[in-house]
Amino acid sequence: MYSTAVLGCAWGDEAKAKIVDVLAKDADYIVRFQGGNNAGHTIKLKDKKYVFHLVPSGILYPEKTCLIGSGVVIDPFQLLSEMDELRSQGISFGNRFFIDPRAQIVLPLHRELDGKAETNSIQTKIGTTKRGIGPCYSDAIARYGIRFGDLFDNEYLKKRLENIIRFHNYPTSQIDTILNDLNPIINKLRPFLKQIPYLLNTIIDKNILFEGAQGTLLDITFGTYPFVTSSHTISGGIAIGAGFGKNVDRVVGVFKSYYTRVGEGPFPTELHDEVGNKIRIQGNEFGSTTGRPRRCGWFDAVAAKYAAMLNGIDEIAFTLLDVFSGFDTIKICAGYKIGDTVTTEFPHSSKVLEQVIPEYIELPGWDADITRITEYDMLPKNALEYIAKVEKLIGIRVTIVSVGPEREQTIFRKPEIAENK
């Protein structure tokens, strides 16, 4: 058994799905271990576009088994809608898609609570997708949550609904409404119930790929709190969210060649000028889930090294390098100036992070279209120097370079070249 994790190492939207899709070719099981349908993954295959929110993107390989672990929060209505859309595109789920009974269920009331929280003058505005993710995780911690396995015991489900309705001071008349809405879909979901920890920990001669959602800097504990998601997005979250107690053999950290962020929160290298807009347009930086434009900025090596440390990253997948074709100059943030001091430590406080001044390194850009290059050493000299500088600042080698959204637009670096840098 060999295990690999693909993790986003910024504020999400690092093109993880593309890397998962490429690496899933050599995996037998693909596992989603955290987050909910607030995550959007887009994959392009030839003339088709697939958008994922809850279903692991490895489902595109017909012989692979895809699993949703206990750390995921599931909106059952959205899940079935997503599955129906994928079925219409020729994807099958029979005997190769399973959900752990411990996964929490997002109810309509969670979406309502999420919307109220964003408009509450007391609560810090986070800029959530209002999908009910945060309130669902909150109820799980408060021990009022509904779990996937609860759906299949009518008497117990009703009792759990009574608890959560009273906890939120909703009228008890809503219980029957929720039950009536859930009843038609429960039987549709029953075939996918399976204890994922037992499955994963009895695998002997198969390969497992763990698929992260969101990004390291949105981790509930180590991210830019309170402007974070509600789950553990780092490698340590795999044990929590999938019940996988063994060490992951290979951790691939996904970094974009520039940084982006959606919602509120500090972003030291954010660009508010024509350069930032150029990155947004050339990178098509608009959310898969919401469609909202992403905030764009230069690569932040301070944040990147922090993310690499937290995840124990073994290698880097560098994505959207093609976006920089046509740039005269490219910058990398190599340090933060705080008052009279320059540091390479990522601050623990969002308040401090908002006040830092990035210390930049400037590198020459390139004009060539790199989207059809398939060999690493065929990349333009300045592109190679850019990657080399990122490697030096983070201290980890780049083994995968993505130069476009298609599977074939992926460059795998020869090990001997990476090791001899």
DSSP 216-254: GGG-TTTSSTTSS-SS--STTHHHHHH---SPPSEEEEE
DSSP-derived 3-state class of residue 50: strand
13 is catalytic: yes
**Ramachandran assignment for 66, one of left (phi > 0), alpha (psi -120 to 50 degrees), beta (any other):** beta
- For residue 211, what are the CA distances in angstroms to 13, 82, 266? 13, 18, 26
367 is catalytic: no
Task: Give buried/exposed letters for 133-171 (b at 16+ CB in 10 A, else e).
Answer: bbbbbbbbeeebbbbbbbbeeeeebeebbeebbeebebe
Q: How far apart are alpha carbons 36 and 12 in whole angstroms?
A: 13
**Residue 265 near residue 350, CB atoms below 8 Å:** yes
CA atoms within 13 A on the CB side of 110: 28
Q: Which one from 28, 41, 100, 139 is the annotated catalytic residue?
A: 41
Catalytic (active-site) positions: 13, 41
